[in-house]
Amino acid sequence: MSLPRLGVVIVTMGTRPRELEALLASVEKQDVPAARVVLVGNATPLTDIATDATKIPLEENLGCPGGRNVGLKLLRESGDVDVVIELDDDGLLIADDVFRKIQKLFAADPNLGIIGFRVADENGHTERRWVPRLRADDPMRRGLVTAFLGGGHAFSVPMLERIGDWAGEFFFGHEETDLAWRALDDGWKILYEPDLVLQHPKTSPARHAVYYRFTARNRVWLARRRLPLPLIPVYLGVWIVLTLARIRSASGLKAWCGGFVEGLRHPCGPRKAMQWRTVWRMTRLGRPPLI
C-alpha cells in the first residue's frame, strides 16, 4: 500500500502572529513530514514570519477560499502531493501523528475525498456547531458525513481535479458546504475523524463584520448553484425561519436581509445542481440538503 504525499496550505492575514508561529511549529513536529507547506498571505507581506514554508504574499485579500485556491494551485502544479491538508492560522495540532493517520486513511480508501478534523478548544471541549452532523450530542462519534469544518481538513488531490477548487467568490461563509456537496455529487466520501484534533480558540463567527451579510448571500448562492429547483424554496424557507428565531440583533437582522436580497439579485456563479440520488444519499447519511 503506497502512502500519499502530503501538502499543507495555511492562509493568514497576519493578524495572529503568535498563533501562526505555534501552528507552523506543530506542523513541523509531525512524525510524517509534509512534502511542502504553503503559507498564503491575504493582503499581508509575510516578511516577519520565520518559516521554511513556501510564502505567497498577496496584495489583495481574496478571502479564505480565494487564498486557499492560490495555495492549491501551486501544489497541484508542482506535482509534489496527493493529499492537501488545510489549517486555520489560529489552530494548533496538539498531537504529532496527525499526518501519519491522514496518510493511512487515504491510502486505505481510494474513494475517500475529504477528512474533517474534530475542532476543540484549549480545554478539549468541542462545541455543538463544530460537529458536522445534525445529531451532534457525541463529538467523538466517527463516521461518514455530509459536511466538514473549514478550520481543519484534508482533501484528495484527485477529487479536487474532478470537482474543482473552492468557490472563491463566496469570500467568507458556506464555501465548505458548496465543496462538500460537489464532492458527494461526484461520488466521494466525507469522513469525520474525531481522533484528528485541531485545537482552536472558542470564538463566535459573528465577530466578523461581514458575517450576517455574507452568510445570507452565500446561502442563497449555494441553493441557486447546487440544489434541484424544487428544493430551493424549501431550503431557503427553512433557513429564513431558523434565522428569524436565532438572530437577536436588529443590526444583524438588517445585514442578513440585505445579504439575502443580494444573493437573489446578483450572479451566483455556474449552476450545476446535484443529482436526486445525491439528495437521497445525503438523507441516508442523516442530513438532507434542506437544513
Task: Return the C-alpha cell found at 70.
Answer: 492560490
For residue 184, the Cα-to-chain-centroid distance in whole angstroms is: 14
Three-state helix/strand/coil letters over 201-259: CCCCHHHCCCHHHHHHHHHHHHHHHHCCCCHHHHHHHHHHHHHHHHCCCHHHHHHHHHH
Distance from C-alpha of 8 to C-alpha of 136, rounded to nearest angstrom: 28
Strand partners, 116: 153, 192
**pLDDT digit string (tens) for 97-115?**
999 999 999 999 999 999 9
Distance from C-alpha of 154 to C-alpha of 111, rounded to nearest angstrom: 14
Distance from C-alpha of 142 to C-alpha of 133, rounded to nearest angstrom: 11
- Percentage of the chain exceeding pLDDT 90: 89
Under the banding of pLDDT at 50, 70 and 90, the label for residue 208 is: low
Determine the average pLDDT of the residues in 214-243: 97
- Other beta carbons within 10 Å of 282: 21
Residue 18, C-beta contacts closer than 8 angstroms, at least 6 positions apart = none
The whole-number pLDDT of residue 8 equals 98
Residue 284, C-beta contacts closer than 8 angstroms, at least 6 positions apart = none
Would you list the domain boundaries of the chain? 6-203, 206-271
CATH superfamily of the domain spanning 6-203: Spore Coat Polysaccharide Biosynthesis Protein SpsA; Chain A (3.90.550.10)
Q: What is the mean pLDDT of the chain?
A: 95
The H-or-E segment that residue 180 falls in is helix 175-185
**pLDDT digit string (tens) for 4-60?**
999 999 999 989 999 999 999 999 999 999 999 999 999 999 998 989 999 999 999
On the CB side of 249, CA atoms within 13 Å amount to 9
Under the banding of pLDDT at 50, 70 and 90, the label for residue 206 is: low
Phi and psi at 263, nearest 5°, equal -65, -35
The long-range contacts involving 201-208, CB below 8 angstroms and separated by at least 24 positions, are 201/90, 201/121, 201/122, 202/121, 202/122, 202/125, 202/127, 206/252, 208/172
The whole-number pLDDT of residue 272 equals 97
What does DSSP say about strands 6-12 and 83-88: parallel, antiparallel, or unpaired?
A: parallel
Q: Minimal CA–CA distance to 118: which of 96, 100, 136?
A: 136
Under the banding of pLDDT at 50, 70 and 90, the label for residue 207 is: low
Contact 40, 66 (CB under 8 A): no
This prediction has a pTM of: 0.95
**pLDDT digit string (tens) for 155-175?**
999 999 999 999 999 999 999
